Structure 1
Amino acid sequence: MCVDKAGGNRGKRSIWRSVPRWARVCTILGVVLVMLSGTVLVGYQALVARYEGAVGKADLFGDQAAGVVEEKKSDIKGPLNILLVGIDPRNAETPPLSDSIMILHVPAGLDRAYLYSLPRDLRVDIPAFRKANYPGGNDRLNAAMSYGSRVSGQNPDAAQGFELLAKTVQQVTGIKRFDAGAILNFTGFKKIVDAMGGVDMYIEREVRSEHRRPDGTMRQLQPGGGGYLGPQAVYEQGDAHLNGWQALDYVRQRYPRNGVPDSDYGRQRHQQQFVKAMVSQAFSADVVTNPLKLDRVLRAAGESLVFSGRGHSVVDFGLALKDIRSDSIETIKLPGANIGSGSAYQGERLLPEAEDFFAAMRNGQIDAFILEHPDFKQKNS
């Protein structure tokens, strides 16, 4: 997706801009899945086998290929770092694009979490990756998964691409080792939201859809690509109940002309807000005490997830994180800035303060850091 087969930067830029943006939200399902499984499965043991069997499994970190034998322990101890990546699986032949990259950091107490996003357009050094014959280079962060997924004579391998992306993110953040990882696709996003009966959340300001009509059908693209025609779905400021397509559409919006003045950073904020809304809904009595609805939610979630717990199952992680609730998830905005603007736009960069955040996270001082730097907390607008 983000690979220019002709080798030109101009072609690569046009491909990036043409990729649908709605898949970026899909990583939020990973956070919900990890937390949802813990609380509900304690009381519904009959669903454990169904859920565990539905979740896709893969060697996302290259452990098996490297001959690493993970020690399976009966408990999971913090602190934890979990890498969540959303992709747009358009077809089996197209290299996967990591359109959303989130990290869930859980301190040692396992009773709260910090959720932050890395900009997909962040300029980074991507390390060489022999498995895909990739020599390494400087590019946008979301290119790493595409480069790493290449398999000679075969369809791209998203799990292999995840491995290179994880290595790249480790370089950016200084995280030595991820404790778990997940790949989410948008296919199951609408299904899980609808299986839950929709999600309630607060809309911070009026947002107008770029792509959808009020009834959910797609707006018509103008001839020559000059925008879309027809009425727009509108998400009014205030409390809202969103079904699957509405949730996916809302968190997709990123243009100032549609009511998102801070563009990609606003979209990241909306995604993180929706994480917390989904967690709240997952813990609601309407879901937890309804075995039929719960079963639908878990099966829809399992169909959307490829998971690696590096020796632990997704259920193990769910049980370990069972005490986390939506009000104990702090969403973080990393300080960043554009590199270039307009037609000269080259991507994003993180400001030096972001490295202070990463250092505090690595040193177990994240709580104190946030108290001293409240501006890192994601605001509602």
Structure 2
Amino acid sequence: MPKKSGNRRAPMWARLCAIFGCVLMVVSGGALIAGQAVLARYAGAVDNQDLFGDASSAGATEKVSDIKGAQNILLVGIDPRTDEQTPLSDSIIVVHIPQSMDQAYIFSVPRDLVVDIPAFDKTGFRGGRSKINAAMGYGSAIGNGKHDPVQGFDLLAKTVQQLTGIDKFDSGAIINFGGFKKIVDAMGGVTMTIDQNVKSEHLQPNGKPRPRLARCADNTCDHPYYGPQAEYKVGTYHLQGWQALDYVRQRYGLPKSDYDRQRHQQQFIKAMAEQALSKDVISNPAKLDKVLKAAGDALTFDGNGNSVVDWGFALKGIRSQNMTLIKLPGQSMIVNGRYQGEALDDSAQEFFAAVKEDRLPDFIFKHPEYINKEG
């Protein structure tokens, strides 16, 4: 089991920013203290790409930062894959920043949500109805059996925009899950409250992969692994990188499956923000430098012409205690006894309208059931 932690919360500096993905929270507080050299090195480490199919918006320009007002940010988590493997968006998270820019509302889109995916000329995809995590795959083909998750992000973003009614995302990022582990390890671990007992589908108690059944080599089995499992029990623990990543990836065996996993991933975002902004990190130059480098390596970013550092400064008023975790209510679709995917409750359309019109506080007041418990 991971090392159990007490209830003490990490102290916070007065002007620390918190959230952009699980990455920008290390920028403003730590980098403002660390100085321009660290800022420049971190910004240079980030892979700036055109994620939204608009080359004029990718990366940073010499323009004065114009990040103000309500913002919507799309974050997509993927597993490391070769360019010959079709990328799938394992986690889809939207961060809504209201006009006041002192709050962050974080909601996850279920990866198995059945939606209409629009046509995409770059790959010849004609559009169709499928699980939303397939959108990145439909948009990723670049020829000769190769795939580019950056191009796939474009179609996924258009799909999420169509689902939510958000006209255009103000920025976006692809987060490599392997990079998450490096960030947590660079911070010296992360303290999380585990809210339900979870067994790992993928790893043994020592962190090594569980062996796979030979008959499941072609990935046709729902549960291809066997042998001892890592376990995470209810309580507050200080987790190593592999433990934190393993915990938030689990859904098999959980009462609400992917909905439980979404909640755990949101809790992880908040825990990482708090850990990254603790004095243990930002007052330790060597550790801070490792965290910033690991965050840069984990991130592919499109800031709509603004740099990752610009975004860090723009969100400096947000702290971990000002992050509201949102759950979208939904249910499984079963047809003739077979699972077809997920569907959202009708009230989700009201929620999406509140996001688009920047009136989430009023919606949450009327619908407190949308708030995700935090353990």
Say if 1:29 and 1:189, in contact at 8 Å, map to a contact too: no
Change (3 A) 1:360 1:314: same
Indicate if the aligned counterparts of 1:204 and 1:238 stay in contact, CA closer than 8 A: yes
Residues 223 and 379 of structure 1, relative CA distance in 2, 3 Å threshold: same
Shift of 1:379: 1.9
8 Å Cα contact 1:116-1:332 kept in structure 2 = yes
Unaligned runs of 5+ in 1: 1-27
Tell me how far apart the structure 1 counterparts of residues 334 and 297 of structure 2 sit (CA, whole Å).
Answer: 40
Q: Please show how residues 180-259 of structure 1 align to structure 2 within 5 Å.
A: 180-225=171-216, 228-256=225-253
- For 2:142, what is the secondary structure of its paired residue? coil
CA distance in 1, matches of 2:226, 2:197: 19
Task: Quote the offset at 1:71 in angstroms.
Answer: 9.4
Question: How many angstroms does 1:70 deviate by?
Answer: 8.5
The AA in structure 2 aligned to 1:114 is Y
Among 69, 92, 104, the alignment partner of 2:95 is 104
Aligned equivalents of 2:355, 2:163: Cα separation in 1 = 13
Q: Pick one of 83, 91, 99 that aligns with 1:92.
A: 83
Q: Secondary structure at the residue paired with 2:147?
A: coil
SS of the residue corresponding to residue 267 of structure 1 reads helix
Aligned counterpart, 1:81: 72
Q: Which residue identity lines up with residue 363 of structure 1 in the other structure?
A: E
Are 1:301 and 2:295 counterparts?
yes
Which of 340, 347, 356 is matched with 1:353 structurally? 347
- The Cα offsets for residues 127-146 of structure 1, whole Å up to 9 and x where unpaired, read as 11111111111111111111
1:154 is displaced (CA, Å) by: 6.1
Are the equivalent residues in 2 in contact too, given 1:30–1:184 (CA < 8 A)? no
Tell me whether 1:160 sits opposite 2:151 in the alignment: yes
Q: Measure the CA separation in 2 of the matches of 1:146 and 1:76.
A: 31
Contact 1:35 1:324 in 2 (8 A): no
Q: State whether structure 2 residue 25 is matched by structure 1 residue 31.
A: no
Pairing 1:114–2:105 present: yes
Does the CA-based 8 Å contact 1:79-1:107 persist in structure 2? yes
Percent identical residues: 55
Name the counterpart of 2:123. 132
| Bigger relative CO (Cα 8 Å, ≥ 6 apart) | 2
- Match among 275, 279, 289 for residue 281 of structure 1: 275
Per the alignment, residue 378 of structure 1 pairs with 372
Counterpart residue identity of residue 374, structure 1: P
**Residues 1:288 and 1:316: Cα distance change in structure 2 (over 3 Å):** same
User: Which 4+ stretches in 1 moved above 4 angstroms?
Assistant: none
Q: Which moved more, 1:97-106 or 1:73-82?
A: 73-82
CA–CA separation in structure 2 for the residues paired with 1:138 and 1:316 = 37
1:239 alignment partner, SS class: strand
Q: What is the aligned partner in structure 2 of residue 12 from structure 1?
A: none
Aligned residue type for 1:127: P
Q: Is the 8 A contact 1:148 1:164 kept in 2?
A: yes
Q: CA deviation digits over 1:82-130, x for unaligned, max 9?
A: 0001112321211211111000000011111100000111111111111
Deviations 1:275-308 (A, max 9, x none): 1110100110000111110000011111111000
SS state at 1:128 partner: coil
| Superposition deviation, residue 155 in structure 1 | 2.1
1:339-371 CA distances to partner (integer Å, 9 max, x unpaired)?
116861111111110010011111121111101
Say which structure is richer in helix.
1
1:272 paired residue number: 266
Across the aligned residues of Structure 1 and Structure 2, the Cα RMSD in angstroms comes to 2.2
Tell me the SS of whatever aligns to 1:249.
Answer: helix
Amino acid at match of 1:281: Q
- Per-residue Cα deviation, 1:283-340 (whole angstroms, up to 9, x for no partner): 1000011111000001111111100001101111011111211111000000111111
- Tell me by how many angstroms 1:34 deviates: 2.0
- 1:187, CA displacement in angstroms? 2.1
CA distance in 1 between counterparts of 2:214 and 2:270 reads: 39
* 1:328 and 2:318 are equivalent in the alignment: no
Q: Output aligned runs, 1:17-56, within 5 Å.
A: 31-44=21-34, 45-56=36-47
Contact kept? 2:57, 2:302, Cα under 8 Å: no
CA distance in structure 2 between the partners assigned to 1:283 and 1:46 by the alignment: 19
Given the superposition, is the C-alpha separation of residues 319 and 342 from structure 1 closer, same or farther in structure 2, using an over 3 Å criterion? farther
What residue in structure 1 maps to residue 284 of structure 2? 290
Cα distance change, pair 230–342 in 1 and its aligned pair in 2 (3 A): farther
Unaligned runs of 5+ in 2: 1-17, 217-222
Equivalent residue for 1:64, pick from 55, 61, 67:
55
Q: Mean Cα displacement is larger for which, 156-165 or 282-291?
A: 156-165
Candidates 174, 194, 199, aligned match of 2:165: 174
1:216 alignment partner, SS class: coil
- Distance in 2 between residues matched to 1:285 and 1:177, nearest whole Å: 36
- Residue 175 of structure 2 contacts residue 300 of structure 2 at CA under 8 Å; is this kept in 1? yes
* TM-score, L = length of structure 1: 0.87
C-alpha distance in 2 between matches for 1:274 and 1:65: 33
Q: Is the Cα–Cα contact under 8 Å of residues 201 and 277 in structure 1 kept in the other structure?
A: yes
